[in-house]
Amino acid sequence: MVVKAFVLVLTMATSLLAAEMNWSQLPPLRDAEGFAGSFAGVSDGALIVAGGANIDGDKWKEPFTKKWYDSVFVLAKPDGAWMQAGTLERPLGYGVSISADDSVLCLGGSDATRHYATSFRMRWKAGTLSRSLLPDLPRPCANACGALVGRTIYVAGGIETPAATAALRTFWALDLDAPEPRWRELEPWPGSARMLAVAAAHDGSFYLMSGAALSASADGKLVREFLRDAYRFTPGQGWERLANLPRPAVAAPSPAPVKDGRIFIVSGDDGANVTFQPVEKHPGFPRDTLVLDVRANSWSTLPVAPISRATVPVVEWLGRFVIPNGEVRPRVRTPEVWALTFPKP
């Protein structure tokens, strides 16, 4: 009887939490295919999406060809229209993007041939896009995750080269208020090296969750290990191991939305269909949402996400958590732009 009562209370709490999540669509990006791995953020009150990649031509042929882009799109208001506002210095994607100081900070990333340590700032002002350099990352890096905690940017993991057979176990910090900002290399989390992890920032701490470890098999093929572990870093206190995720959430939208002491991980790749064939019939990534109650250090699963997404940033904009484009299933992107909101207290 006690167990039944507990299950009933837990089910009611989960249902109430699910009811708080309101999903809506913003105007789709002006591209028929859409992009994965774009940079995104807010400047001058506008939503900016830049770069990224998709599959050029026949996405089902072997081998397929991935194409990187340099386009920059701006949406001035939620019911407005996207405009193409300029270009990046080069086609680029799969870096970390952070909104800070009324600008979008773009850190690292890759193109078709290499990974970059270059970091820069994009600013949109009076209808003009400008770009200025930031300190380079300590080494080239793509497929990392990152978040802004207070005035410090943290970047974790990733891979150094396109041909890498091991992920990075690196943890870097950049204090935006330092007289001469520079990246510092900090003690990494106590778990495996990883790429495509999910970051979050809450109450002065940085969160690192899931991701994929890399290794080479005996025949030289790249093997991904889908991870469920999670960690919290607090300045002055170091790393703390948290409860495991209910499932892997590799490349889920990041940094994850945070509301009322809970971290929401939407979709991501759980690895269940990693070898699915034929690939063109892949059912897509999970459509549920994993919720970490930070105080209780416990996870719940909400089957309420209307989308499946991977390799896409999350941008907090005008009270919304925006997920612009991303990967729906292997080789398939989308121009859709979705927004998650919560009731105001």
- Between the CA of residue 227 and those of 14, 116, 166, 253, 254, what are the distances in Å? 24, 25, 14, 16, 16
Sequence letter at residue 159? I
pLDDT value for 2? 45
Query: Could you report the per-residue pLDDT of 254-304, keeping only the tens digit for each?
Result: 999 999 999 999 999 999 999 999 999 999 999 999 999 999 999 999 998
Number of Cα atoms under 13 Å in the Cβ half of residue 32: 3
pLDDT value for 10? 41
pLDDT value for 221? 85
CA 258 to the chain's CA centroid: 13
Cβ within 8 Å of residue 291, ≥6 positions away: 17, 262, 263, 264, 265, 299, 300, 301, 302
- Between the CA of residue 267 and those of 16, 127, 155, 199, what are the distances in Å? 20, 35, 21, 14
pLDDT value for 77? 96
Cβ–Cβ under 8 Å, residues 8 and 325: no
Instruction: Walk me through the domains of the chain, giving residue ranges and CATH numbers.
Output: 2-341 (2.120.10.80)
pLDDT value for 13? 47
**What pTM was estimated for this model as a whole?**
0.94
Q: What rounded mean pLDDT belongs to the chain?
A: 94
Cβ within 8 Å of residue 19, ≥6 positions away: none
Q: Which is nearest to 303 in space by CA: 324, 284, 327, 286?
A: 286
- H, E, C per residue of 225-276: EECCCEEEEECCCEEEEECCCCCCCECCCECCCEECCEEEEECCECCCCCCC
Residue found under tokens 């405009």: 83
pLDDT less than 70: residues of the chain: 1-19, 345
Query: Could you report the per-residue pLDDT of 7-22, keeping only the tens digit for each?
Result: 343 444 455 566 689 9
Q: How many Cβ atoms sit within 10 Å of the Cβ of residue 27?
A: 15
Whether residue 190 has a cis bond before it, omega within 30° of 0: no
Report the C-alpha gap between 341 and 275 in whole angstroms. 34
3-state class of 202 per DSSP?
A: strand
**150, β-bridge pairs:** none
pLDDT value for 19? 66
Q: Which is nearest to 324 in space by CA: 128, 17, 154, 78?
A: 78
